[in-house]
Amino acid sequence: MTAGLARQAIAARKESNFDLPRISLDGFIGMADTWLRTNNRPIHFQLIPALLWTSIGAAFCLVGTPGPGRWWGGLLLVGTGLVWLLLLLLIRNAPRIACSRDHLFLYIRSGRPVEIPLDAVECFFLGQGPSGIATPNGESEATNVIVRLADRAVEWKSGDTARRLAHWCDGYVTISGTWCEPINGEVVGQLNSLLVERKRSLKTRGDSPATAQGADD
């Protein structure tokens, strides 16, 4: 049973593309802004079994005939349950798109996010594509977010992504809406407003544009 629960937690982690080592210090000191979050719906479904698992462990410790075996078993269940809950909460707050200073962070692959200079980002718009989820009537459609990159940013024309999360080709990054918070015209409008506001802020402060580096660095 423990192995099955562990597999569920690992599956949720993969679905959200959450990777602890990729979190930068900016995220902890309030300098990185989350613009678009991951899909939290699979996480919410796992909160109930995680809470039940922790409660069973607490009951082992507090109810029934006391004994070393019962205590250690209960503490093990409580400990693994708390770790499970912590992991789910961390995944729940993971971004799909974030911005730090003069770079846009795209969490579309394992490991470090893709860091694109804001100077190379032109706009966001809606798209449509396969969801990657099978239904009785065939594969369903998902509303995607497409990041349009400037033609002059030739080094950002394409790059590596996790295929289920995004596709990057010819200066367009198509981020699958299946693994994002619900996407609509209002959300995309907010993304464009945030982009314009951040660029205006950098221009007002006179910050130098970030030096573009290769997409696979």
Tell me the CATH number at 145: 2.30.29
* Same domain, yes or no: 64 and 100: no
The DSSP symbol for 216 reads: T
**144: in domain:** yes
**63: in domain:** yes
pLDDT on residue 176 = 93
Residue-wise pLDDT for 8-36, tens only, equals 444 444 444 444 333 344 433 345 799 99
What tokens does 214 get? 């290769």
What tokens does 66 get? 């006391």
* Same domain, yes or no: 44 and 106: no
**216: in domain:** no
**215: in domain:** no
**DSSP for 117-143, written as a single string:** EGGGEEEEEEEEEEEEEEETTEEEEEE
pTM over 0.85: no
**198: in domain:** yes
Cα separation of 150 and 171, whole Å?
7
Containing structural domain, residue 78: 2-29+39-92
The DSSP symbol for 38 reads: B
Helix (H) or strand (E) holding 154: none
> 175 near 107, Cβ under 8 Å?
no
**DSSP for 174-191, written as a single string:** EE-GGGBS---HHHHHHH
* Same domain, yes or no: 100 and 200: yes
- Using alpha carbons, select from 129, 110, 126, 127 the residue that is nearest to residue 15: 110
pLDDT in tens, the chain (217 residues): 444 444 444 444 444 444 433 334 443 334 579 999 988 776 666 777 877 878 888 887 777 666 777 778 888 888 888 887 777 666 666 789 999 889 999 999 988 899 999 999 999 999 998 876 655 666 678 899 999 999 999 999 999 999 989 999 999 999 999 889 999 999 999 999 999 999 999 988 776 555 444 555 4
* Same domain, yes or no: 143 and 131: yes
